[in-house]
Structure 1
Amino acid sequence: MQKFHKSKQIFLSVCSMTMVISAGCVQQKPLEKLGLITTSGYDLEGKNQIKGTAVVQKFDPMTESATKVITSVAKTSKGIRQQANLQSNQKLVTGQLRSVVYSRELAKKGIIQLVDTLNRDSGIGNMVYLTIADKSASEIMEIETNNKGRLNLGTYMYNLIKQNVEGEQIISPTLHEFNHNYYDIGKDPVLPILKVKNNDVIISGVGLFKGDRLVDELKQGDLFYLKILIDKYKAGTKEMGYTTDQLKKIIIKNENYTKKPIFSKIYVSIDNIQSKTKIELVDKKNLRFRVDVDLDSRVLEMTEALDLGKPASVKFLENKLDTSMKKRIEGLLLRFKELEIDPIGLGNEYEAHLRGKPITQEEWDRKYKDATFDVNVKNTIERTGVID
């Protein structure tokens, strides 16, 4: 028994020495010696050059500012990194990169070259958010300078996008999703557009891509319908506006309510929206798609008193919602077809009916021009006027 304990002690001593030696072989990277790039932006600069702007998180207790903005110009993103390192006393690394901004001008010409660089960098995860600047990326990056280092723009932008994705306001714009939609024949990417407003960064809309080129954008009013077509709603919110004549049948005539409405329209806010959309190819030869949208929701707010205590009145409002949403969805689908873009993935649905036969992008582009759509929307109002 004593021999066994002695052998065990020798074994543990050897293991401990091995661990110490192994730890000494690992390359140490103290945070004080690293500059962590948290967000970066790219703009076209003259002919055949790109301007890169990076917000760098610094861990130097001797400096007042925790962040620094570095701008450099080169022909490639790697060249930009090399030039940026010449302006930093800490080695710049991308392990904490959370978001990337491309200028509108650059996005119109194509961003796949710069996106591919992200794919080839082992230090960058595929959950980095990709965005488009309403004007220039450097304008977005200057917010950090204007706030004198009190704002970590990388963290702010990441949280801005993350909470709007989780709040079901926009489609998730990760590097992984961009790659999937770009390389998948029969679907095109979408990315949020960022805008500077009152020395702050906001999401002003969503950019629509043809491959890797920005071709159009949707403003906030249409983001709801894009989300319905691409993804499911679990708890969304939407405001709908109607003229007095459209809803006069269910307006409560009561002296206790305002005789002169504040707004020229009646606005109805619905929330807790749960949606289910089914897109089906019903005629392969003539490329006709059936789009069925089912929504369950509750009425949260009205700018004028509506009599929703009667089932007939609720049904009346449901029909109004059906008609309005159907018209907007049909308009959106036709707009996509005219732009020859497919953010919905109709090409995937068509290819699924080819029994394993692959389709080229050129073939799908030719077919897509003849596509027609039968849109059906069914709203069900589960609750009215009650707030938990």
Structure 2
Amino acid sequence: MLNRLKWIMLAAFFSCVMLISGCAEKKQLEKLGLSTAVGYDLEKENHIRGTVVIHKFDPLAKNLTEIITVEANTSKTLRQKQNLETDQKLVSGQLRCVIYSKELAKKGIVQLVDALNRDPTIGNTVYLTVTDGKASTIMNMDKENQKIDLGTYLYNLIKQNVESEQLLLPTLFEFNHRYNDHGKDPVLPILRIKNGNVILSGVALFQDDRTVAELKGDNIFYLKILSDKFKSGTHEMGFDRSRFKKLIMNQEGNAFRTVYKKLFLNIDNIRSNTKIKLVDKKNLRFKVAIKLQSRLLEATEPLDLANPANIEYIEKVVGKEMEKEIKKLLIFFQKNKVDPIGIGNEYIAHNRGKMLTKKEWRDKYKDVKFDVHVQNTIVKTGVID
């Protein structure tokens, strides 16, 4: 009797499941348009141009992607208008990258970012970026012959540079965290077109939700050192040849030609640890202590590395050069009233019980003084060419 009752209950359960499944809306992939990248441009005051890249599943389609551009005042209306121009229902669950034009980013992007936060189908790992020109230009690049999905390409471009430690993580989560933090400002990568390809050309510095400055070249490396830990980074430095005159080996019997006006060193396997500490609360003086371990991978002239004293000399020269460049970068941050490395967080931590607004911190920030100390240790030497 008991077994029979179990079978009846089991049959009833499966009947309910089948009934519910039959009533559920069937979403065939061919009927969905997966938004993999979206871009926003400022057309005029309170008027936004939105461009979306849609990935298709139709095997008979000529192109794998479709690009739709419309204009509206809000991102919600942009989505509604974009739906009117396609036979596929647009969904955002596969969104990989969001692009804001520099012109728009200078005005502020918090409203558009907030729209992403309110969409439950969009994850926190979406990458946010700024473009040198118009977002629509990047997204319509080589539109007729596009064989790859732009959203996936941009995602992979950013991801591999984050993993190789050349870029800070630019996710939606990270932007929100920095934006809502009174003592730290957001940073986002800058995209531009070069020789028909989209590349990373720098980093945009934000004051709240507006871009006010940007970094290029070596300064991105120093931003990474100040903001995060290196685990296996790499860096190139150039010096006046006279500073290494005593270390340059004579190549007797071998032809050696000086190709460069400077002597360049390349260090890799960089492991770093940075500590920022408020040492004088009254005079707003901070100590920035950086410890580096690295390998001397390459030099553009043959150096005598058999002598430990020569290694120590290189460590000292590299460390002093880094101190100089980091001090210049910190002053650059102050002049532009941006705090991407969290100096404000360290100050706020020493003012427990007293709430500090962003404006109050920015007023104090301009008077901050820095003592920078870099302890560089070369633990290995590689092949010297």
- The partner residue of 2:137 within 133, 139, 144 is 139
CA distance, structure 2, for counterparts of residue 141 and residue 257 of structure 1:
53
The match for 2:302 among 300, 305, 325 is: 305
Match of 1:118 in 2: 116
Residue of structure 1 equivalent to 2:170:
173
Assess if the C-alpha contact under 8 Å between 2:100 and 2:135 holds in 1.
Answer: yes
Equivalence for 1:214: 211
Kindly indicate whether residue 312 of structure 2 is the aligned counterpart of residue 315 of structure 1. yes
Looking at structure 2, the residues matched to 41 and 143 of structure 1 have their Cα atoms a distance apart, in angstroms, of: 13
Is this contact kept in 2: 1:55–1:144, CA < 8 A? no
- TM-superposed CA distance for 1:223, in Å, is 0.8
Mapped partners of 1:178, 1:23: distance in 2? 39
Superposed CA RMSD in Å reads: 1.3
2:245 partner SS = helix
Q: Read off the aligned partner of 1:240 and give its amino acid letter.
A: M
Q: Equivalent of 2:146, from 142, 145, 149? A: 149
The Cα of 1:258 is off from its aligned counterpart by 4.7
**Structure 1 residue 128, shift from structure 2 partner:** 0.5
Matches within 5 A, 1:152-231: 152-231=149-228
The secondary structure found in structure 1 opposite 2:136 is helix
Residues 289-348 of structure 1: CA deviation (Å, up to 9, x unaligned): 000000001011111111111100100100110111000100000110111110011111
User: What's the CA shift for 1:71?
Assistant: 0.7
2:248 paired residue number: 251
Out of 344, 357, 361, the residue aligned to residue 360 of structure 1 is 357
Give distance in 2, aligned partners of 1:285 and 1:28: 66
Specify the alignment match of 2:234 in structure 1: 237
1:240 shift after superposition: 0.9
In the TM superposition, residue 363 of structure 1 has moved relative to its aligned partner by: 1.2
Tell me the distance in 2 between the aligned counterparts of 1:125 and 1:173: 13
Runs of 5+ consecutive residues of structure 2 not aligned to the other structure:
none
Partner SS for 2:82: helix
Distance in 2, matches of 1:374 and 1:257, equals: 46
CA displacement, residues 152-196 of structure 1 (integer Å, 9 cap, x when unaligned): 110000000011111100000000110110111011000000010
Which is further off, 57-66 or 67-76?
Answer: 57-66
Shift of 1:27: 2.7
> Match of 2:246, SS?
helix
Q: Counterpart of 1:12 in structure 2: which amino acid?
A: L
Shift of residue 383, structure 1, vs aligned partner: 0.4
**Aligned-partner Cα distance in 1 for 2:8–2:202:** 66
Mapped to 2, the partners of 1:71 and 1:257 lie a distance apart of 63
> 5+ unaligned residues in a row in structure 1: which ranges?
none
Residues 377 and 83 (structure 1), Cα distance of their counterparts in 2 relative to 1, 3 Å cut: same
Partners in 2 of 1:266 and 1:91 — Cα distance? 58
Residue 274 (str. 1) matches residue 271 (str. 2):
yes
* Cα distance, 1:84–1:258 mapped onto 2, change above 3 Å: farther
TM-score by length of 1: 0.96
8 Å CA contact 2:64, 2:148 repeated in 1:
no
Rounded Cα–Cα distance in structure 2 between residues aligned with 1:300 and 1:24: 64
SS at match of 2:272: strand
Are the aligned partners of 1:144 and 1:153 in contact in 2 as well (CA < 8 Å)?
A: no
> Is the alpha carbon distance of 1:249 and 1:138 closer, same or farther for their aligned partners in structure 2, counting shifts above 3 Å?
same
Q: Pick from 57, 72, 75: which aligns with 1:59?
A: 57
Say which of 287, 303, 326 aligns to 1:329. Answer: 326
Distance 2:317 2:260 in 1: 19
Tell me whether 58-67 or 93-102 shows the greater mean CA deviation: 58-67
Aligned match of 1:340? 337
Preserved contact between residue 40 and residue 53 of structure 1 (Cα < 8 Å): yes
Q: Give the Cα–Cα distance (whole angstroms) in 2 for the partners of residues 378 and 256 of structure 1.
A: 38
SS in 2 for 1:350: helix
* Residue matched to 1:104: 102
Contact 1:290 1:373 (8 Å CA) reproduced: yes
1:24: Cα distance to partner? 2.3
Quickly say closer, same or farther: Cα 1:279–1:258, change in 2 above 3 A: farther
Partner AA of 2:29 in structure 1 = L
Match 1:129 to one of 108, 122, 127: 127
| Aligned equivalents of 2:18, 2:119: Cα separation in 1 | 31
Measured after TM superposition, the shift of residue 357 of structure 1 is 2.0
CA contact (8 A) 1:99 1:131 kept: yes
C-alpha deviation, 1:21, in angstroms = 1.6
Aligned partners of 2:298 and 2:383 also within 8 Å: no
Cα displacement (A) at 1:13: 1.0
Residue 379 (1) aligns with residue 385 (2): no
Displacement after TM superposition at 1:365 (Å): 1.2
Counterpart-to-counterpart distance in 2, 1:225 and 1:253: 34
User: 1:23 is matched by which residue type in structure 2?
Assistant: S
Q: Distance in 2 between matches of 1:26 and 1:379?
A: 63
The 3-state SS of whatever aligns with 2:44 is coil
State whether structure 2 residue 66 is matched by structure 1 residue 68.
yes
Q: Distance in 1 between matches of 2:230 and 2:142?
A: 34
8 A contact 1:49–1:75 mirrored in 2: yes
